[in-house]
Each structure stands twice: as structure tokens, then as C-alpha cells.
Amino acid sequence: MFWMAVVLGIVEGLTEFLPISSTGHLIVVSELLQFTGRRAEAFQIFIQLGAILAVAWEYRQRLTRLALDLSRAPRARAFFLRLFLGFLPFAAVGLAFHEGLLEYLFHPAPVAAALIVGGLLIFVVEALPLNVRTHDTESMNWKQALAIGLAQCLALWPGFSRSAATILGGLGTGLDRRTATEFSFFLALPTMIGATTYSLYRNYRVFEPGDALWLGLAFTVSFLVAWAAIRWLLRYVANHSFRLFAWYRIVLGAIILIVLGR
């Protein structure tokens, strides 16, 4: 279980914020490791929290300042309102269809299909003549936040990628690449904390004695790897498109389908 926790932590940390789907990768890797079922699903969701908290750490000064200004600064209130608007559609749809999603979509074949569809969508968005008009998250309006929140619902299809959905949604609403990526990071906080809390409430009984140690190990690994991935991605998007990730998604999805078809 030691190496399984380390491997899953690394996979989660590397993929959570890249537009390639952490959930999809965790499902496929868990299948390869023969770690499946409700316990595996709860494990996968919990360790995502480690990666999400890497965002809180990376932006700790900015988030602390906004939280302290919440009662007196309209700018801070507007920021948290945008996060709420972005989170709301995902929460509503996720709660309504949670059981069905687990039953039908948390398998390698649907993940592979989502990887390919998401990769094709990246190519489509990259080819559009986008009108960039917003260059920082504090200049966003509520319509942009809500549109990104609606786009995030695509991430309920495992393999599509929450990061891909929100970044592409941001680009489509006029955000520049860095701003779309940063808002995707911030939106991960309420989204994944909420999903983790709900999953643990529903599935805590599936854990076995001793799992706390392995959860803690995977959590720590995912935090450290995700922190490095966040810093790398922000530098990367400043001068590159997302087409590299699109090719990766399509190739990986095709390989999975080929292997499953044998």
C-alpha cells in the first residue's frame, strides 16, 4: 500500500491543474494497480484535497488579504462572489447526478472518450479568434464567472478535466491565458473541498483500519507535486498554447481504447 499511495499521490499532484484530468488518470492508474471499488473512489477524491491545498499555500498572502478585506472592501466581496457563482452550477449538477456518474462514468472507457473529446475541444478553442479583454481575476465580471462555472460542469464527466473545462471556459469569455489559469486554480478551492467533504461523508465507512496513514502519505505527496506543477504551469501558459496537452489527451485516450479493445 505504501507504493500505491506514493504513485497515486504523484499522479494526482501532476495532473490536478494540468488540463489532462486528474480523476481520469487516477481511475486508469488505479485499474492498473487493481485498486478499484468504492474504497478506491473515496481514496482518489480525498487525495485531491492535498493538491487543492497547494493552491491555498501558493496564493496564501493574496487569499489572506482578500479574506481580511471581506467586510470592508467591495473588491474582496466581488472576488468571493465570483468564486461562489463559479462553484454553484457544479455543486447543483453534481449533487443531482452523483450516483449515476459514479455508476456509469467512473470506468476506463468513458475516461478515454472524455480525454479525446476534451483534446479536440482544446484544438477548437485554440483556433477561435478570441477577444481577450480581461487580464486579471479581479477585473472579471459575474457573467464570466458564471459562464466558467457552467463550463466546469463538463468536469463531472471523468476524464474531461476540471482544469481544462474552466480554462477553456475562461478563454472563451475573454480572459487571457494566465488569468483563466489562475481563476481555474481559485475555483478549485470551493469545488474540490466541497466534493471531498461530500465524498467522505458518503463513503467514510468504506475505509479500512490503517488507511489514515496511506491517505496522509498520498495527501502529502500530492500537495508537494501539485505545488511544483502550479508554478510550472503559470510559467508555461505565459508563452505557449494548450495544444501540447490536446495531443497528449488524444493519444492517451486512443491507447486506452485500443488496450480495452484487445
Percentage of residues in the chain having pLDDT higher than 70: 97
Give me the sign of the Cα torsion angle 172, 93, 230, 179. Answer: positive
Supply the pLDDT for residue 154.
92
Name which of 89, 97, 43, 65 is nearest 190 in CA terms: 89
Supply the pLDDT for residue 173.
94
Q: How far apart are CA 51 and CA 23, in angstroms?
A: 12
Supply the pLDDT for residue 227.
93
- The stretch 157-171 carries a mean pLDDT of 92
- The stretch 18-34 carries a mean pLDDT of 86
- The stretch 35-55 carries a mean pLDDT of 83
Supply the pLDDT for residue 168.
94
Residue with cell 506514493: 6
Above 90 in pLDDT, residue 249?
yes
Supply the pLDDT for residue 116.
95
pLDDT by residue (tens digit) across 59-111?
999 999 988 888 888 888 999 999 999 999 998 998 887 667 667 777 888 99
Sorted by sequence, the CB contacts under 8 Å of residue 200 that are 6+ apart come out as 42, 45, 46
- The stretch 192-216 carries a mean pLDDT of 78
Under the phi-then-psi rule, with left for phi > 0, alpha for psi from -120 to 50, and beta for the rest, what region is 5?
alpha
Supply the pLDDT for residue 43.
80
- Lowest mean pLDDT, pick from 21-30, 83-92, 208-217, 236-245: 208-217
Supply the pLDDT for residue 102.
67
Of residues 36 and 68, more confidently modeled: 68
Q: How many domains does the chain have?
A: 1
Amino acid 21 reads: S
Supply the pLDDT for residue 262.
55
The domain in which residue 59 lies consists of 2-261
